[in-house]
Structure 1
Amino acid sequence: MFHPLRVSAVERLTDDSVAITFTVPPELRETFRHTPGQHIALRRTVRGEEIRRTYSICTPAAESADEPVVRVGVRLVEGGEFSTYALKELAVGDTIEVMEPMGRFAFEPRPGRFAAIVGGSGITPVLSIAATLLAQEPDARFALIRSDRTAASTMFLDEVADLKDRWPDRFQLVTTLSREEQQSGLPSGRLDRGRLTELLPALLPVPEVDGWFLCGPFGLVQGAERALRGLGVPRSRIHQEIFHVDDGTAPAGAPPTTGAAQAHSVLTATLHGRSGNWPVQEADSLLETVLRARPDAPYACKGGVCGTCRAFLVRGEVRMDRNFALETEETEAGYVLACQSHPLTPEVELDFDR
């Protein structure tokens, strides 16, 4: 569900990114209390067309019932309708429709040793995870390995520096730049699988890390996941969120399904306790089919990345074009991305409530 929230701050982070803070009214405080790592979807209408974009919350999660701080980082995307608006037009006092926090990259703080490998704007949810963990768990440690193009393009520099100042013994920071040399630290270059395989054991005791958080462009996340698996890290300890997809191929371990779409199919879907039946039009995804009758169907990116439209496949078979959001365990359990799914059988049934 979307709620109109007032913009209370728009802060320039870099030449091509801003942080947006929203005011949450008292009646919505519980609704917008988030778990670190979760995201929100923002909605606006441009020339009669509805545009939704997903952005991760960067602020720590509050332990008390105080007013939650909902703040997101937005990086300019070439040709991006919402990011261009956010950087060039959005102002304090404006109102944006905001969906309540959601997402499975979420992390419940607990004692232990944790680490993250992030690229670019992938720092956003990890900043919330690290800050919440360090503040709430005195026996926890966190290592952040971040990659950016240049120092000038690095988002949330001050916030990360503050973590280092406040918890110097429990927060480890390693930075690398892909297009610029640093005066100290690691040499420039991309963090690919080979480099991470050599680098990680030299930085921290890999087998002792209780959880890894990978976030950023698909190439970096895929390389980091493969490096960690090669170093013997169990899949259950690796958590991923893709922020940008470059090449259209699905991550290893979560391939798209294949097959010719059914020419005539009927979709049954359950959403918020109500069910309906609709014919699937040629070339339409199952999400598009539901949206024609149920505009309250959940979605944000429609690109197979955010996972907002996840649904349980009750009956029938589907083809998923892309899958950058669901883990292997989820697809094996019967979950699909409705925005990427097309029917392979005359009848298909989805349950969005499971």
Structure 2
Amino acid sequence: MPALALMATMLLLFSSPLFALLPAQALPPEQQRQQQQDGGQLEIKNSDYTFVDSDGMLNIVGVVNNKGTVPLSVTMGLDVQGKTLQEQLYGRVIYPGKGAPFKFQVPQGTEVSGRPYVLEAREVRQPFYDTLVLNYTNMAVGEERVLSGTVRNDGPFAMHNITVYASVHSEDMTNLDSVRSNTIPVLAPGEEAGFVAAPDPAVKANVYYYSCAGIDPDAPISTLPTGDGKFIAYDLTTVAKVSGLRYDNSTDSISFGIKHYNPAGGPAVLKFAQLAKNQTVAVMLDGSAYESAKVAMDGRTVQVDLFIPPGDHEVQVQGVRTIPEFPLAYLGLAAAFAAAVALARQKKTSKKQGSV
């Protein structure tokens, strides 16, 4: 048995992209290959194992790991007979510290030049949301040697068209295949559903365990329930891990935990609808007023720009729909101001009565 904790049940948190991919400048393939060889942000693990399936297709598999500090959308290339085949990773976005498998299927007898490589890598400026919980045992199960488990939605919005992917291994740790599960059409908040991913029959007899499991859902609608049957549309853009995203009706706030992928910290931008001309928005970081946050309004949209320091933090943006729950300092000032106004009115009234 390989020196791995194969019998442990793995409880992993994954997320889904909420916004469109924002492309960055892509490196030429030769530079990307050199970047990988030099220990750059992408690590390619091409398998030395290939197999021919029942359709006569040569299957070539591997895994790509993100060793950098930004989420990436990766397209793989494979040169065959004067042309380049292209395949997406089984995970449309790979976040720092994560990886995803790939597979090329080439007609048998086709001349293959070299090995799969990164054809294009684009930065994805979107957060990693801990909304889907993947629970599985990575040992192959049953006569069909499948990967099975459950997915639970702990987020505030429904997720659609969810698939689970994984890399398939033999007992001697050889990467045999790359698999996707059945599609879960919809998973509402709090719901849980089962999944099964099966290897190709040509390699089934040698399948022992699975690794690099991940979740690839469609992008959900970016809204938060308010608890009164209504929803708040929002847009959160950042290259960070985000957890516990929610709307709190008692404080009229959007709150979330956040850790930026850049070790030095980095920006985050939250947008939501402006509902009043004199709408007051307060930003809190770790329970204190965050004075360096910038709030701008254009009559239609409220935009909150803030810098996320290194490490784990809690952000709360108050005044999303009505008057915010102010910090104690603001409440003290408001109370003092109200008392001063009342005293001035009382003196004015006394003077009028004395002159009558």
Say whether the fold is shared (TM-score over 0.5).
no
- The structure in which a higher percent of residues are strand is 2
Q: TM-score, normalised by structure 1?
A: 0.28
- The structure in which a higher percent of residues are helix is 1
- Bigger radius of gyration: 2
